[in-house]
Amino acid sequence: MSGIAGFFSPNTFFSETDLQQMAAPLQKRGAQSSHHYYEEGLGLIHQRLSFVDKSPEAQQPMQSHNGRFVMVMDGQAYNHHEIARGFSNEQFNTTSDAEIILENFVEKNIRSIYQINGMFAAATYDREEKVLSLFRDRVGIKPLFYYWDEENFAFASELHALLKLPQIKRRLNKKAVAEFLHLGYIPAPHTLYKHIFKLEPGSWLRIQDKNLIVKKYWTVADKIYEPKLRSRLPYLNTEANALKHFEKILLESLEQRTPTTATYGTWLDHHPESCLLTALLAKQKGNDFPTLSVAYPKTKNNEPRNAVKVAEHLKTNHEEISVSFDDIRSFVNSLPEKFQEPVADFNQFTYTLLGQKSKEVAEVIMTAQGADALFFGNGTHHWAQRLDSSWIKTIRKPYAYLLKINKSTKARKASALLNYSHKDDLLSHVYSQEHLLFSKRELPSLLSSYTPISPYPVIDDASLTPLEQQALFDINYDLPGNSLFLLDQALMSNTVEARTPLLDFRIIEFAINLNPQLKYRGAQPKYLVKQLLQKFVPEKLWAKQKLEQTPMLAQWMEKELDDYLNEKIVKECGVVEFEVVQQLKEQFKKGHTYLYNRLWALTILHVFLSNAIAQGMEVE
């Protein structure tokens, strides 16, 4: 793992000294060494954290054998030995995956990306043609930001590295504010700043002179129609065969991602996918590795700590991290430092605690990101199916009105979900309202200046079920913009590497082509995951009990809300109408608990905006 950054400009807009400015925020991603490459108009810098080849010969920026190309790379190609076997006469100077990826790029250019199975964000420079190319892994495990003003270009693993450049003006992107309040994160390609973008997952970018091209090389929707995958569907869509194949490719993915020269562990919680990964890892490598979980303050109906039961069954070295309400306040105040953009998902708190503890016990952490999207585990999938019912379509508006009378969180959520404006917005509406965020209908009155949000495209195919459509939305937007971004930031800020075996592209392509009945059977989500887990861990140890409880976040906000959303702060930031915020606060205090996540999103937004304005952001 590492941090990368660089610039490309036909004039002297950027200079060699700027590389050192960009390096400072990257040190958390790799502090073993720092090296850079510079020639007029082009600069690359690399902060190193290596687990494969720690020799000086493997340091980056790395030049190709023919001297024509230079590369920096963050991430790892787990199949680099397989790619290396494609070179008949090539003699490699290191055991680094970066050297193999670079030489493969020399031979095949952009086409070489298709061969990589891993997580990566990389930049290569062609010294002869004066072309800079960037590319990012299929689902966006590794972040990659870039600045472009139609003439000058810069990129970095960390948004803060770009903001270190004094030439880049900090101007608020108000469209991104609207998207954040609607989804709880800012989806690619946008960021909180004008002229700063995220390279979308599964994309490559090329810049030459003043011409910039961005294209997709992989989309999950395209893989639904992959002829080779389709030809195997009759075999894989029987439960026994699907279970056998799923176990096979998941074990292969784990084997590729389990380091041989670094310590490793897992995050273990009550979800079946984390239990499954831990069980399979114990089966493959033995149980002498750490597992970590978080224990939130107990309430009268607190969820049983299944992670402890599973760890005891598997005999791993388990540790449970206790949390208090006081921890949240210190966490909120440090958000702009820990994370680069506002995200409303409270998992950022959990991930931060786990990341801090992970640093003490392991260099690499296996996590189960992706299972919810791939195997219909989110509440959004349940609602996508319900809203497709013909009788629900008939009565949804009067039913929504009746439910609105009840102020319980469950009733108000259902009312909001039923009350969508147009089917073109249904995917983002279901996501937004399942997470108790602002609907598109609410944004014009909330925001001081509102730019309408366009529908989020997925794929227009009537043969896909609503569950499948909603899952594609999660894979395209929620995974890279929310879950994977938080995971990367929480672990890399502690110089710990995250590995996500369920996001091996072979597992993704298997899962999206699987019969929906093998993913969501009856009212049971993640069906295939649970069936496989039962082979290793008794169901009574991990089966989730459905218990109603007031979220910890809502309980905390009852006491802390005014400190973060008072009139002075809201009006100084100037992006939302204080009168609307005040109404939301008053309703929340009167028992409308369902508003807690809207107010949490506003809190996070204003913490970030206050910090950014103090550092010179312009709010136009």
Return binding residues for L-glutamine.
97
Work out the angle at residue 233's Cα, subtended by the Cα atoms of residues 258 and 465, and round it to the nearest 5 degrees: 95
Sign (positive/negative) of CA torsion 566, 567, 568, 570? Answer: positive
For residue 395, give the amino acid letter. I
- CA 456, CA 63: separation in Å to the nearest integer? 40
What are 415's two structure tokens?
A: 């009312």
> By C-alpha distance, which of 527, 517, 387, 443 is closest to 174?
443
In 287-346, which residue ranges form alpha helices assigned H by DSSP?
306-314, 325-333, 335-338
User: Which 3-state string (H, E, C) describes 72-86?
Assistant: EEEEEECCHHHHHCC
Q: Which residue has the tokens 């990129």?
A: 155
Assess contact for 271 and 370: CB atoms under 8 A. Answer: no
Give dist(CA 168, CA 22) in Å, integer.
12
Return binding residues: 97
397: which 2 tokens?
């508006």
Residue of 248, 246, 278 lying closest to 366 (CA atoms) = 278
Spatial distance between the Cα atoms of 509 and 245, rounded to a whole number of angstroms: 12
Strands lying side by side in the sheet with 42-48: 33-39, 42-48, 2-8, 153-156, 145-148, 196-198
Amino acid at 424: D
Q: What is the 3-state secondary structure (H, E, C) of 397-442?
A: HHHHHHHHCCCCHHHHHHHHHHCCCCHHHHHHHHHHHHCCCCCCCC
Residue in the structure block whose two tokens are 């900090």: 170
Cα separation, 437 vs 600, in Å, equals: 9
User: How far is the CA of 127 from the CAs of 45, 57, 69, 214, in angstroms?
Assistant: 16, 21, 6, 20
